[in-house]
Each structure stands twice: as C-alpha cells, then as structure tokens.
A and B are shown apart, each in its own frame.
Chain A
C-alpha cells in the first residue's frame, strides 16, 4: 500500500528557522548568513566590518566552524559578543544550532548578528537559519566560474562580495567572465568588489550593510 505524505523533507529545519526569524524581527536584529568557500575571507571580512562599524552599531557574531575556535580567537579583540558552534564534521549550520545559541546573546542590545557559516558553497545554501538574508562571498583565487557552478547560492543571496581583488594581476581570473556568469544567474544581485587586506572597496560594503542595518532597526 502507498501512504501519501507530501511534505518538505527539511520541515523541522524550516519550522525552527521561522521561529528564529520571528524572534529576531521582534528584537529588530538583522541576521546575515555569510556563505563562502573555505579561505575566501569570511573572518577577515568580519574583522574589517567590526573595525568600521563597531562604534556605530552593536554587532554580534556566531562562528560556525567544523572544529577549533581559531576564527573566534581572531575576532576577540573587537570586544563583540561571539559564540562558536562546532559542527563536529557537519558541513553546514542549521536552524536548531542557531536557535540553541541565541540565548547566549542579549538580543535587546544588538543591531546585527553575523553568522559565519561553515566554508562550503553548496550545503549551507539549503539550510534556512532564520536569517534576514544570505550573503555570498567569493574570492579571486577560486576562479571566475563559481556563479554557474553554484546557481542556488547566487540566486538566493542578497548580494555578492568579490574579495581579494588585489590578486587579479597574479591570476587568470577574468572579471568580465565572472560578471557575465553572475548576470546570467542573477542579473539583479548587487556585486561589491573588495580587498579585505588592502581595504579597497570596503567603504562600499560598509555603506551597503549600514543601510540594511538601519532599515531593520
């Protein structure tokens, strides 16, 4: 006999994500789910962001890491509340792990919560954390073919940050190819080109994210 079920396999994750989203909305906290490959510069982006925004907005950070708290250690000096989630081999965060750690933050005194997801372009795109939006970060050394290979992320993200632009002269990265590939997948997505080590373009990123934080307050 056949038994009809007809439901989303990730219903449990989706329901918890909806709870997280409604809690954060009630507290007027913007949550950014930062997704990239390992080594694209997520932690360095958060360092630059804490430096530029730490005095203007109240920032919190959730560090998703397979193991170790190295990323969190790097961010300690900015004196923002940080919670580490070790996934113990898991390739992405999910809404239950986020929900569990939200209690460690005083949400009434936060404007923005950055979630550094586990470095991976596919798996984190499938799991709603209850974020306000996803942000895709890619870097020059990964090559110019990423949008076409990972269409889900580039469709779902609110913006794309292209990091390590200072490396362009030393690689075969073709900016036109990258941009046309991205345009094909998502012509409306904003692209912000940055170099977290040299500082170029960081002002544009700060302006963009500041607008989003202000809107959510």
Chain B
C-alpha cells in the first residue's frame, strides 16, 4: 500500500521537473529502490500510471533498479552484500554494522522531449 504514497510523491517531482524544463512529454522515469523497502514493482507502476493520468507524464515508462542491501562492518571495515537476510559480517562475524545501501527510494532522472 505504501506504493501509492510514494508514487504520488514521485509524480509531484516528475511533473514539477517537466514543467520547469518545458517538457511536453515524459517518456521515461528512472528510479532506484533498495531491497529493504519492499516495493512491489508492478503495484508501483500501476499506482504511478494512475497519479500521472491526463498529464505530460501519462504513459511514461517506469524504469526501476533494485539496489541490493550492502553493509559496512564497524569491527573490521569489510563491505559486504547481505544474502538471505543474514546481517552478520562475512569476514569477522561481527553484528556491529552500518548500512551502505538497500533503503533507497531515489529518483535518478526523467527522459522526455
């Protein structure tokens, strides 16, 4: 369900940018979502398409990159990718970790004319 609110905030950014840049058509929206945020891409695309209906972004393709969860070990400095929800350093077994990526809800760019 949080897909709807996030899609609304995304469409506000897209339409504001399109207006500022005098675009008459937005063809593509490039975004990235961290794996931890548990966005369902199909639901998100549907929600976004509804929020931009009858605007310059109607029909825009939503290109979603899923960013894996990466952590930094605060004990040994190792950077590693979390697999199967195992939040333990794969070098020294420490659980004192700091997140590097995986929580993104990020808009990279829009494409249009």
Contacts and interface: CB of A to CB of B under 8 A. Distances in A.
Interface in A1-18: 1-13
Contact of A122 (B17, B38, B96, B108): B38
A5 B110 contact: yes
Contacts, number: 93
A193 interface: no
B88 A94 contact: no
Contacts of A4: 108-109
B81 to A, nearest CB: 14
Nearest to B32: A9
Of the candidates A4, A120, A150, the one having the most CB atoms from chain B within 10 angstroms of its own CB is A4
A13 B12 CA distance: 13
Of the candidates A92, A148, A155, the one having the most CB atoms from chain B within 10 angstroms of its own CB is A155
Nearest to A6: B108
B21 interface: yes
A5 B13 contact: yes
B2 A123 contact: yes
B9 interface: yes
Contact of B95 (A92, A148, A187): A187
Interface string B59-94: 000000000000000000000000001111000000
A192 interface: no
B2 to A, nearest CB: 4
A8 B106 contact: yes
Given A9-B10, A188-B96, A94 B5 contact: yes
A187 B9 contact: no
A90 interface: yes
B94 to A, nearest CB: 9
29 contacts: A1-B111, A2-B109, A2-B111, A3-B109, A3-B111, A3-B112, A5-B13, A5-B108, A5-B109, A5-B110, A7-B13, A7-B106, A9-B10, A9-B106, A9-B107, A11-B13, A13-B9, A92-B1, A120-B1, A123-B2, A126-B2, A126-B37, A151-B85, A152-B37, A155-B99, A184-B85, A184-B88, A185-B87, A186-B95
Interface of A: 1-13, 90-92, 94, 120, 122-123, 126-127, 148, 150-152, 155, 184-188
